[in-house]
Structure 1
């Protein structure tokens, strides 16, 4: 809480974030805030720096500069596993499941920071209630699931750490229109149950529909931001096409 203003601090605050690959600056001064209980989307064309931003947030990529604060604490220098313990779970692009392990084993792996066996089993049951098809595939190897089923499992695995912030990178990539609707509806359901969501989504229109706030990235920078309900889809299209500098 900011004592002088009496207003709550953002759950996540990213300030002047820079990430480089050699001489190439993939993220150039990213500024972003995510309020607790919200859905925030980061949209932009391929190569805008969205996935790099999320990977840096999770501690997997080193920063060239900038600070990250989460739940009032500076986590800039924390290792990835310590960020998970603080309450950040990352559902990566292309799922990144362990294909030779069963659905249940992948779920258990998502709870690796926890030691409450009874609570873990309760949460596995909750994940099957959220995604009933996973119950039918419980003993099946993750690599044999369909694309939509794998995405469900990846989301469920992320939730097994009981995060306060779920970071999701392209959760609808490669899915059928019907499955896209299922996944995006699930994002809203997860949020309604109290989990804050930071979303990178290829379908900008759907992302805006879901989101409380939207940031548009281009060439490593945020070039526009606004409430999701106020973002003009035609403006987003112009940014994607490079018509707005």
Structure 2
């Protein structure tokens, strides 16, 4: 698995996603507090941190699945802070949640078609189904099979492919390798690189911080609901990252 190049842009690029002062509360508990981040088009950006740092909460807020207590979200130049989740999908944001969450009682094909529920371009949908099979040949062999009978790795492939069926410009991925065997982890991470090569922008939360940093053009480190450090994937120091996990100052 080859790492992406981390060449700097010659000219500034307007972020596809820009987040300012994002805060999310569960009752009186402020789970995420004052998060600022930006994701440039065509890049892989990772959000890393220990369990409970607020990573999943942040992703759910970006997808509209949790309300904000404060802050603003801009996507493709448009303020989407109060936009409903389905309208964010229509704007070009797809979320692949942690633990896959495929529709177990539906077939692989039916799961994929659900990913395209907001589309009405039948010819292009059929073309995208073929593209998903090219990306994940195992799914092509199991189109009529119930999703709940797939292996964990196959379910993760299906979850990613289902997200891609909406033709997003930003794919949000939450812990895509959680609970998978090492060989399957490599395959999934290779897929992240492949879809980026095809022009996709990716915001990634990944349990394996070292792999996430190696894949990424830019890395944000979260601790206790806040961004405590950021750097390019090429420059970030894994040893320094460990100190942030443990709560050390910059």
Partner of 1:182: 187
Using the alignment, how far apart are the partners of 2:153 and 2:184 within structure 1?
A: 6
Say which SS state the counterpart of residue 229 (structure 1) adopts: coil
Among 50, 62, 70, which residue is 1:45 paired with?
50
Say which SS state the counterpart of residue 53 (structure 1) adopts: helix
Among 56, 62, 79, which residue is 2:61 paired with?
56
Say which SS state the counterpart of residue 66 (structure 2) adopts: coil
What are the residue-to-residue correspondences of 1:69-218 with 2, within 5 Å?
Answer: 69-218=74-223
Using the alignment, how far apart are the partners of 1:241 and 1:30 within structure 2?
A: 20
Structure 1 outlier segments of 4+, above 2 Å: 241-245
Aligned length: 240
Using the alignment, how far apart are the partners of 1:120 and 1:53 within structure 2?
A: 30
Partner of 1:15: 20
Gaps of 5+ in 1: 1-5
Partner of 1:3: none
Using the alignment, how far apart are the partners of 1:135 and 1:154 within structure 2?
A: 14
* 1:161-184 per-position Cα deviation (integer Å, ceiling 9, x unaligned): 000000000000000111100000
Using the alignment, how far apart are the partners of 2:12 and 2:132 within structure 1?
A: 34
Is the aligned partner of 1:241 residue 2:236?
Answer: no
Normalization by structure 1: what TM-score? 0.96
Using the alignment, how far apart are the partners of 2:137 and 2:247 within structure 1?
A: 42
What is the RMSD computed on CA atoms of the aligned residues?
1.0
Using the alignment, how far apart are the partners of 1:7 and 1:156 within structure 2?
A: 31
Using the alignment, how far apart are the partners of 2:107 and 2:215 within structure 1?
A: 32
Partner of 1:219: 224
Using the alignment, how far apart are the partners of 1:118 and 1:156 within structure 2?
A: 18
* 1:95-132 per-position Cα deviation (integer Å, ceiling 9, x unaligned): 11110000000000000010011111110111011000
The alpha carbon displacement at 1:239 in A equals: 1.4
Normalization by structure 2: what TM-score? 0.94
